[in-house]
Structure 1
Amino acid sequence: MKNWWQKSLVIAVAVLSLGMIPPNHTIWESLLEDKPELKTHAEKSPNTQTTYDWLDPSEFYYNNPTILDTVHQTAEEQAYMKFGSRIGPVIGDEFKTAILPNIQQAIDLHLAQVDSDSLRRLAISQKPSGEHSEKIFHIYDTETNKDKIRFHVRTEKKPQDGYYFNFHYHLEEDDFQQHITLGDIYWSKNTPPKWLS
């Protein structure tokens, strides 16, 4: 009865954590200690040269970062690349606390609706645009090369306030027409430098 509970616990952890938490190897070893016939099978048949390689249970679990984790990390890298060495140090902290969580939430919200096969085909564009262009990165389908989500930042001048960076995104669903705001970061009254500078 004890073995049944142990095995059930291992299976429950695997199912509930979707394989992200590999079971401890000591659990497997203690399960095998209770069954000496499994360990000594080769000893019982000395005439055969059969050896048993026990499989590592962690091989059955997906231990790599999830697709969304990879997208989040790459999105952050592309944003800081776009900011360059002149804008990045000035707005970096505010971006990380106020805008980046909104970008990650938008990614999660829209990619949650995508089936797993389509999700595996998605990638992030690797080169943000410079000068005064808005593109930070696009999430696109690698088979069709069509954009799914476009993340942009626009420099806006508000009268008597100065310059702001407006972070927003567009979706394929409405042919990228709707402008969905993620937040604004104030620059100053002086004209900001070009992107990637």
Structure 2
Amino acid sequence: MKKWLQKTLIVAVAFLTLGAISPNHQFWTSLQDKDQTKHAEQPPKNADYSIDIADAFVYERSEEPVVSAEESLIATAKELAYVKFGSKIGPVIADEFDEIIFPKIEEAINMTFASSGDIHKRRLAITEKPAGDYAEKIFNIYDLENAQDVIRFHVRTENRPQDGYFYNFHYHIADDGFVAHHSIGDIQWSKNTPPKWLS
């Protein structure tokens, strides 16, 4: 592979990921021509080599179980919900959210995975920024291949006369064109106007 193209790809990866992903050197050597790889694999004779401790990798068997894509999405979903709640709403509704609402969100995600036969083959991602102000969006799960949403999770602030303000958690699915509201549950705030999301 031409050196300038290889260097351009390395710089592009570093720039797009803001340095969070370092290039895997095995990947770059696989892109080189076969003649170049043979020369790179054969060290010159009579060369002195030293290995720095920082360059050595120690592989240990992990005691933690491997996290599946579904579990990763569910963990990120919970984090994004708390980002949306912010520091004013989160502490007040955290217990009810963890005990009542989030298990139903998890169930809805799992049902979406189960009902779509080929969804395990898809590359799914979760949106990174919940909506602020009084907007409903918590997060969406979407297909990376076609950049279309699969399921959208929302929370609506409702003012019910005599009862005060409630947070109505619900979701929409692609199967019905995101028209129907699939209710998850409600959490009562109080009779006072709630703060804006992300505050």
TM-score normalised to structure 2 length? 0.66
Q: Secondary structure at the match of 1:126?
A: coil
The one-letter amino acid paired with 1:68 is E
Gaps of 5+ in 1: 1-57
Task: Report the counterpart of residue 87 of structure 1 in structure 2.
Answer: 89
Task: Report the counterpart of residue 195 of structure 1 in structure 2.
Answer: 197
Q: Give percent identity, aligned residues only.
A: 56
The alpha carbon displacement at 1:68 in A equals 1.1
TM-score normalised to structure 1 length? 0.67
Larger Rg over CA atoms:
1
Paired residue for 1:134, among 127, 136, 139? 136
Report how many aligned residue pairs link the two structures.
Answer: 136
Task: Report the counterpart of residue 113 of structure 1 in structure 2.
Answer: 115
Q: Secondary structure at the match of 1:152?
A: strand
Measure the CA separation in 2 of the matches of 1:130 and 1:86.
13
Gaps of 5+ in 2: 1-60
- 1:144 paired to 2:146: yes
RMSD: 1.6
Deviations for 1:16-60, whole angstroms, at most 9, x for unmatched residues? xxxxxxxxxxxxxxxxxxxxxxxxxxxxxxxxxxxxxxxxxx8xx
The one-letter amino acid paired with 1:194 is K
Paired residue for 1:71, among 70, 73, 76? 73
The one-letter amino acid paired with 1:100 is F
Q: Secondary structure at the match of 1:65?
A: coil
The one-letter amino acid paired with 1:192 is P
Deviations for 1:56-114, whole angstroms, at most 9, x for unmatched residues? xx8xxxx5201111111011000000000000000011100010000000000111133
Which structure 2 residues correspond to residues 158-197 of structure 1 after superposition, within 5 A? Answer: 158-197=160-199
Task: Report the counterpart of residue 122 of structure 1 in structure 2.
Answer: 124
- 1:153 paired to 2:165: no
Measure the CA separation in 2 of the matches of 1:156 and 1:173.
26
The alpha carbon displacement at 1:169 in A equals 0.1
